[in-house]
Structure 1
């Protein structure tokens, strides 16, 4: 049950988590997909001012996922509005022909799906060759074994806690166990574990306790439509995650 999956860790559990691995820096990454597209520059500036650590960019092609969002030109237009990390999530297939365009548009992280093509190793090599951090995203039904032979090329693992393609979906609780297993698999490596889908203050604590350190949030950040509401929403997610990590709020 969801209640069982997201119960808060005990103090003992927090100590064990700290001993098992040194937590990666916490990052809140508002998803621009949930913003007001009529004023993208203003929205980027607002979440920057509200405390965002990364700006999450969901790129969809209508082929790999059943929706179309935006491409490199729109990202390039957003780039001057913030110095925060641009965290690109490519839900496209094939991805390799477009990696350079996203790098030139100003993306700092480029994440591709393990399911999007037969040559994941080559895609990650190409991203690193462009001077960018390389990420792998796993759909809810994709096992973590997909990461086993590419870990040396991975800077970030993005765990989908909804099926990709649309914002505003309900959180899939099995993502918590998957994150815990990935954190164990990557122990000792400087790999960020990011989670995307249905993320809000209600689940951020359990996700952080499992080992996630980067939290993509769309609807739960952009709800309210004002700078003050964005500040409140980002702080609520951050505080839930910090509390689960046993860090000062």
Structure 2
């Protein structure tokens, strides 16, 4: 069984000391730093800023992704490539020409990903799957931390895992991912987990202890 990817959602980090939080998470052994960028339009909130992205990139050599929860994500590919993103997720729901945008990401030498909202079917994006390295299923409606996991997405996750064997992408999940959900969804074949307040942040244990427990 391949190692599961544990990816802290840095929107939930301690912004009073973001540099220390990033370094502590790196020491804890996380795999990918997950960075939410929101425009207040595609989702009703604003996420991390460019300065936050630059700071985290400057203090870790671990992979950084960027989850573009924005309208017309193609307009931001070059910017985040230049800021040091290793993986760029777009929402096909927000892009008139998602295939072209995915090609643009790969042309920049980055890993391409798509993320889909709970109400978007796999059938709506199946033509894009040969173009992606990562396929992220949103298990809450995007935009805010601390929401409840939507159980009806599980059948979609199972379909994605089945298709991943054909198209060779990693299945990721994002939203209300608790330790129990990591255990449950690992058994379904999910490879990567975005960690927020349900599993990692705001706990009474240090990050290293939590990550070790989640790996177990």
Gaps of 5+ in 2: none
Post-superposition offset of 1:33: 0.7
Whether 1:35 aligns to 2:13 is yes
Whether 1:49 aligns to 2:27 is yes
- Per the alignment, residue 200 of structure 2 pairs with 221
Q: RMSD of the TM alignment (CA)?
A: 1.5
1:28-75, CA deviations, whole angstroms, 9 ceiling, x for partnerless residues?
001101111121111111111112111111111111111112233321
Identify which of 179, 188, 191 aligns with 2:157: 179
Identify which of 83, 86, 93 aligns with 1:115: 93
- Per the alignment, residue 116 of structure 2 pairs with 138
Post-superposition offset of 1:80: 1.6
Judge conservation of contact 2:164–2:171 (CA < 8 Å) in 1. Answer: no
Whether 1:85 aligns to 2:66 is no
Cα distance in structure 2, aligned partners of 1:199 and 1:93: 25
Q: Secondary structure at the match of 2:25?
A: helix
Larger Rg: 1
Judge conservation of contact 1:27–1:54 (CA < 8 Å) in 2. Answer: yes
Tell me the matched-pair count: 215
- Per the alignment, residue 215 of structure 2 pairs with 238
Gaps of 5+ in 1: 1-22, 240-249
Cα distance in structure 2, aligned partners of 1:189 and 1:122: 18
TM norm structure 2: 0.94
Post-superposition offset of 1:202: 1.2
Q: Cα–Cα, structure 1 residues 136 and 71, in superposed 2: closer, same or farther, change >3 Å?
A: same
